[in-house]
């Protein structure tokens, strides 16, 4: 429960910093429409490309599970954002109320384990497509089913609550770093010495599993500033 609540709080803070305090109304501080459902299904489409699903190409290529897990965390950013927005718009409560509700989902206990096994590629892709179908539906959103399906995806992707939390914190710090270094105006450099910044962030976490978010930000800054030197 504590990790879920902290992730929700951090996502709310990031959205406020990026889009303004009224982001839950579906509009940024610059007057641009926010569509979290579109964010979810577009990110899910990118996630599928972690697998060799094309029957005419790279038939024996192994799934890129590292990239897939990062994409899972990206989708989690958007699902949390959508959930916070839905709770606000429908007067269901704040971030804390949402956290309590999520902790009560039947399959929440399943991600709060130490199991880290990958499911079959086709099963994972099918689960991703289930999430796409839920998010692309123009009808009333079933938030509970969407989150439940996402938790199933977490399990199938070799993640659990601890690893989801760790990767989320890392990506949250990286997203803030991007915003602070020109991501919106297009001046941010995403490839660092031949590697995407996601990969660098993940490696820093793996090298020091106890690193604090502030220190992770500083480590990213060191690498990034060396690129621009």
Residue 175 lies in a domain: no
CATH number of the structural domain spanning residue 74:
1.10.4010.10
Residue 26 lies in a domain: yes
Instruction: Decide the pairing of beta strands 195-196 and 191-192.
Output: antiparallel
When divided into structural domains, the chain yields a total of 1
Residue 224 lies in a domain: no
What's the pLDDT tens digit per position in 17-73? 889 989 999 999 999 999 999 999 999 999 999 998 888 887 778 888 988 999 999
Residue 21 belongs to domain spanning = 2-162
What's the pLDDT tens digit per position in 131-154? 999 999 877 888 999 999 999 999
In this prediction, residue 114 carries a pLDDT of 65
3-state secondary structure string across 113-174: CCCCCECCHHHHHHHHHHHHHHHHCCCCCCHHHHHHHHHHHHHHECCCHHHHHHHHHHHHHH
Residue 61 lies in a domain: yes
Residue 207 lies in a domain: no
Provide the whole-model pTM: 0.86
What's the pLDDT tens digit per position in 76-91? 999 999 999 999 988 8
Residue 108 lies in a domain: yes
């Amino acid at each position: 429960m504590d990790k879920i609540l902290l992730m929700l709080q951090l996502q709310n803070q990031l959205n406020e910093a990026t889009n303004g305090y009224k982001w839950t109304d579906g509009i940024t501080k610059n007057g641009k429409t926010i569509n979290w459902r579109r964010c979810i299904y577009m990110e899910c489409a990118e996630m599928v490309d972690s697998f060799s699903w094309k029957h005419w190409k790279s038939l024996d290529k192994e799934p890129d599970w590292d990239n897939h897990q990062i994409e899972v965390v990206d989708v989690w950013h958007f699902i949390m954002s959508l959930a916070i927005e839905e709770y606000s718009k429908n007067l269901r409560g704040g971030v804390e109320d949402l956290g309590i509700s999520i902790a009560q989902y039947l399959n929440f206990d399943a991600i709060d384990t130490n199991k880290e096994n990958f499911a079959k590629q086709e099963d994972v892709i099918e689960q991703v497509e289930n999430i796409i179908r839920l998010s692309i539906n123009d009808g009333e959103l079933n938030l509970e089913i969407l989150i439940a399906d996402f938790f199933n995806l977490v399990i199938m992707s070799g993640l659990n609550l601890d690893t989801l939390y760790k990767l989320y914190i890392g990506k949250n710090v990286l997203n803030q770093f991007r915003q602070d270094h020109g991501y919106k105006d297009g001046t941010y450099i995403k490839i660092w010495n031949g590697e995407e910044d996601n990969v660098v962030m993940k490696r820093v976490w793996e090298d020091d599993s106890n690193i604090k978010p502030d220190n992770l930000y500083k480590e990213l800054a060191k690498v990034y500033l060396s690129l621009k030197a």
